[in-house]
Structure 1
């Protein structure tokens, strides 16, 4: 080949060689983004060196060979630029989809083939001549239809890549903007230069300045790499890290407005606030948090607990507040890290409740054992001694008749005690199921009245009920029976002779039946009312010195809660007491 080098060709060849060397060096040093940039530099170096040799050529045959080589770079530079911009802006997953990749590589491949086979079809350029108007021979190309297609592709690809870079530049934090001025300028230089060339604005005649522009763009980006550490701490890495973090981050300016945040914060923001949070005041985004605002306004770093209700979900958060002063001037920044402690908090609450429940169960166990050891043992020992004395003829029939009322009370007390312990213990067993069913309330109440009639008759107490026939409720019939039995038994125990016990039932609007057992006995002191439904051992002897177990009403409350009901009491000392229970009437 014969070459006559000039200033333009020499400049392009030298810059192309330098670009080639730098491309190899950068490829070895960098990550994915930098490697794609180095590949683009390699393609640009092919274009530059081949075009430089073209400008030094004077024969059509030699120029055509060099144009064929040039188009390896010309056809691949725009696609490599576009892929580099995808990586730089964090959109690299787009080109990895097969259809997208095929769509962007098809035209460059076809273009190279079109150029290499142009003498057969003349679709890329219609004619190729040498112009001698300038100081040295220059190829003069008349574009063909495919040339226009490739030019459109060239522009679209450059424009898309430039758009991604500029869009990234607009949304990037201020601390990164100094790094990226070189990228923005580099993105615009070749795009504008090639546009001028195609529009016929050619200050150097037929010389295409586009490869010169790409060399300038390449060196601008190279300066960005080593002067501003462009790819050492690139914004894309920061965004990916923050996006993957489950902790939320807010960055506030000196007026407490949000200037940056990550996606994890959106889970703590009410869905009604569906707009972009940038420039919004932190109080608007996290309302009703006076302690957080106080720390921010007083510049007090530290941790603050936040309780948030977001779309019906409750969050326990820990806000870690940090203050920065960039360059030690007036640009104060506040960083808030939000850590979700909801699960830990709920687990801690559950563990605390379980510990409290276990403590109560242990106390109850001790109480039951104490009752069994003393209250249950005492009556049985008395009965055993009396029976032993009878068998040994140590007491007469008359003496036994005198002791029998006391023995009868002890047996009734023991029976009630055992019944409450057994029923309550059975309900606490793991796997115990509540067998809810519809049953006739009036029949149950009449059966319980008949059960207590002997004890009531003995104290000359009247039990009156006002329950309509056919009243149905939905609950565990055995549990409701035990509740009714305990309440009626207590009413008899704390009534004087000739008292009355009234039992009524009334349907409520909330699908519950209100059942009340009212007596005109001695009543219950106010300080005792606060304790009788709690797990405390409260026992009081009746009007005929009847003993209490201290378990009956506790069992009643437990059973009513298990049946989605309730139990309440009102009482006045010397006037009487009124116990009311609510039982569901439907599923």
Structure 2
């Protein structure tokens, strides 16, 4: 082949080769959308290089060979441009439908076939001659019918791509205005170049300036990629993925400004949803998270757990920071992922509380078994032995009468112990219900005073009450009775001879009834007082060496809580103790 290179051919050849190198570079290092742009630059490079060799050809046959090669780029360039625009605007689903893809591939394939077989039918070019009257030989072409069809196809894809680009940037944030300008100008240039050629405005004679225009377009978009970070948000495909995710995502640039985010971000920050997020410094998004800002400024991949307080609840979340430096076309950027841990934290807290509760129940069970094995067995063995000795006449009637008070105390203790164990065990059964009802508090208190009158008389203790007849409470009657019985039993146990016990009841302003049992006994030390009602089994002997079970007050606390009430205590050594109950008076 014989070539005679002129200035136009050399310029086009140089930029064509440069475009080819850029196309390969971009395709290898870019994401999906950038690769489509790389293919478009490859089409432009084929067109430009082949056209430069056509302009350097001196014969018609040699020029037609390069025309056939040119059309590999010409036929595929508008297709790659359109696919690039679809991908850039996150509309890949359109060309992934087989019938749509086949529809846009028919014309390029048919064009290549008709160009390569044009001498047989002249559908693409009616006539092609070598024009030699200019500065250098060049082809003079008379277009055929298919040439005009392909031109319509060429402009249709260009127009559709430009529409997508304009529509994309119409709603974009001002922070992207430099990127917007570069790609909008790049989209307009080929139109101007090709329209001028078709309309006969040819400042360079028969030279088609369209490939020159596309070279300029490619360089402008490449400038947008490298200088203005044109594809900062494209690889994230936010419209298709991130908006559907419950995790929060945001992307920040090297200056720690937000360049992309999804709507889930608002769940993890108090930053107002009415304020513009794009372009806002990360410090303003998380003003109360200095640990997070410190990790971001350190520019290392890491994870950190944080929490924030919203109007309704405290949200716990994990932040994963991913520094992205491998993209050679753009400056470094940072992806921040926020994963909600609130449910997991709550579940862990519930599991911990359940484990603690199970441990307490297990300890209490062990305590009860210990009581049964020792405290319950001892009195029963004593009673059994005394009765056996009496039945075999091993002890006299006088000796038996002397032992009777001790046996009576053991029986009372054993009865109280069994009753408490029974009530506590029933309350711990799964499905154990509380039968709340309205009842007369005075009647219950009088019944319990009568029940304890015998044991109180032995210690010459007076039990007084100041409870009006019509005072009513709403709770489980049996539970209230057990609580009163335990508290009266304790009062008698820790009273000396001649003490007084006073029971009072009065309505409170909050709709609760307050019942207090006050004694003038020995009182409770501060150390023991702080341990009461805190799941610790406290057992002390009374003023007459009466034994305790260590279960009574714990049962009282549990029963009052179950009925929506409470129990409190105040005491002073040598002065006495007062236990107060609060009970609901209505449903």
For residues 296-339 of structure 1, give each alpha carbon's deviation from its aligned partner in whole angstroms, at most 9, with x where no partner exists: 7899997765332234332334557799999xxxx999887656
Give the direction of change, closer, same or farther, for the CA distance of 1:198–1:585 in structure 2 (3 Å limit). farther
CA contact (8 A) 2:271 2:285 kept: no
Cα offset, 1:413, TM superposition: 0.9
Cα offset, 1:379, TM superposition: 1.2
CA contact (8 A) 2:292 2:304 kept: yes
Cα offset, 1:473, TM superposition: 0.6
For residues 380-424 of structure 1, give each alpha carbon's deviation from its aligned partner in whole angstroms, at most 9, with x where no partner exists: 112112211221123333333332222222111111111111221
Residue correspondence of structure 1 range 272-291 to structure 2 within 5 A: 272-291=272-291
State the superposition RMSD in angstroms: 6.2
Is 1:160 the equivalent of 2:164? yes
SS at match of 2:560: helix
Residue correspondence of structure 1 range 88-127 to structure 2 within 5 A: 89=88, 91-93=90-92, 95=94
Give me the whole-angstrom Cα distance separating, in 1, the residues matched to 2:177 and 2:522: 79
Tell which deviates more after alignment, 157-166 or 527-536: 157-166
Cα offset, 1:547, TM superposition: 1.8
Give me the whole-angstrom Cα distance separating, in 2, the residues matched to 1:277 and 1:547: 71
Cα offset, 1:553, TM superposition: 0.3
Give me the whole-angstrom Cα distance separating, in 1, the residues matched to 2:46 and 2:11: 10
Give the equivalent residue in structure 2 for 1:237: 235
Give me the whole-angstrom Cα distance separating, in 2, the residues matched to 1:187 and 1:167: 18
Give me the whole-angstrom Cα distance separating, in 1, the residues matched to 2:41 and 2:277: 39
Give the equivalent residue in structure 1 for 2:566: 566
Give the equivalent residue in structure 1 for 2:417: 417
Give the equivalent residue in structure 1 for 2:122: none
For residues 94-118 of structure 1, give each alpha carbon's deviation from its aligned partner in whole angstroms, at most 9, with x where no partner exists: 63698xx98x9999999x99xx9xx
Give the equivalent residue in structure 1 for 2:514: 514
Please list every run of 5 or more consecutive structure 2 residues that lacks an aligned counterpart in the other structure.
58-69, 115-130
Give me the whole-angstrom Cα distance separating, in 1, the residues matched to 2:141 and 2:451: 120
SS at match of 1:489: helix
CA contact (8 A) 1:196 1:202 kept: yes
Cα offset, 1:277, TM superposition: 3.1
Give the equivalent residue in structure 1 for 2:432: 433
Is 1:504 the equivalent of 2:505? yes
CA contact (8 A) 1:82 1:161 kept: no
Give me the whole-angstrom Cα distance separating, in 1, the residues matched to 2:360 and 2:292: 38
SS at match of 1:95: helix
For residues 421-480 of structure 1, give each alpha carbon's deviation from its aligned partner in whole angstroms, at most 9, with x where no partner exists: 122122223x23222422314243343333333333443422314144262414x33323
Tell which deviates more after alignment, 517-526 or 193-202: 193-202
SS at match of 2:432: coil
Cα offset, 1:551, TM superposition: 1.0
CA contact (8 A) 2:500 2:519 kept: yes
CA contact (8 A) 1:541 1:548 kept: yes
Give the equivalent residue in structure 2 for 1:121: none
SS at match of 1:417: helix
Please list every run of 5 or more consecutive structure 1 residues that lacks an aligned counterpart in the other structure.
1-5, 57-69, 117-131
Give me the whole-angstrom Cα distance separating, in 2, the residues matched to 1:42 and 1:390: 117
CA contact (8 A) 2:47 2:72 kept: yes
Give the equivalent residue in structure 1 for 2:307: 307
Tell which deviates more after alignment, 377-386 or 297-306: 297-306
SS at match of 2:541: coil
SS at match of 2:545: coil
CA contact (8 A) 2:271 2:286 kept: no
Give the equivalent residue in structure 1 for 2:373: 373
SS at match of 1:435: coil
Number of aligned pairs? Answer: 550
CA contact (8 A) 2:33 2:235 kept: no
Give the direction of change, closer, same or farther, for the CA distance of 1:317–1:105 in structure 2 (3 Å limit). same
CA contact (8 A) 1:26 1:35 kept: no
For residues 71-127 of structure 1, give each alpha carbon's deviation from its aligned partner in whole angstroms, at most 9, with x where no partner exists: 99999965652331221x2512563698xx98x9999999x99xx9xxxxxxxxxxx
Give me the whole-angstrom Cα distance separating, in 1, the residues matched to 2:358 and 2:486: 26
Give the equivalent residue in structure 2 for 1:400: 400
Give the equivalent residue in structure 1 for 2:127: none
CA contact (8 A) 1:504 1:517 kept: no
Give the direction of change, closer, same or farther, for the CA distance of 1:157–1:440 in structure 2 (3 Å limit). same
CA contact (8 A) 1:486 1:553 kept: yes
Give the equivalent residue in structure 1 for 2:485: 485
Cα offset, 1:155, TM superposition: 4.0
Give me the whole-angstrom Cα distance separating, in 2, the residues matched to 1:354 and 1:285: 37
Give the equivalent residue in structure 1 for 2:463: 462
Residue correspondence of structure 1 range 167-186 to structure 2 within 5 A: 186=186
Cα offset, 1:507, TM superposition: 4.3
Cα offset, 1:535, TM superposition: 2.4
Give the direction of change, closer, same or farther, for the CA distance of 1:214–1:168 in structure 2 (3 Å limit). farther
CA contact (8 A) 2:247 2:338 kept: no
Give the direction of change, closer, same or farther, for the CA distance of 1:93–1:488 in structure 2 (3 Å limit). farther
Give me the whole-angstrom Cα distance separating, in 1, the residues matched to 2:8 and 2:341: 67
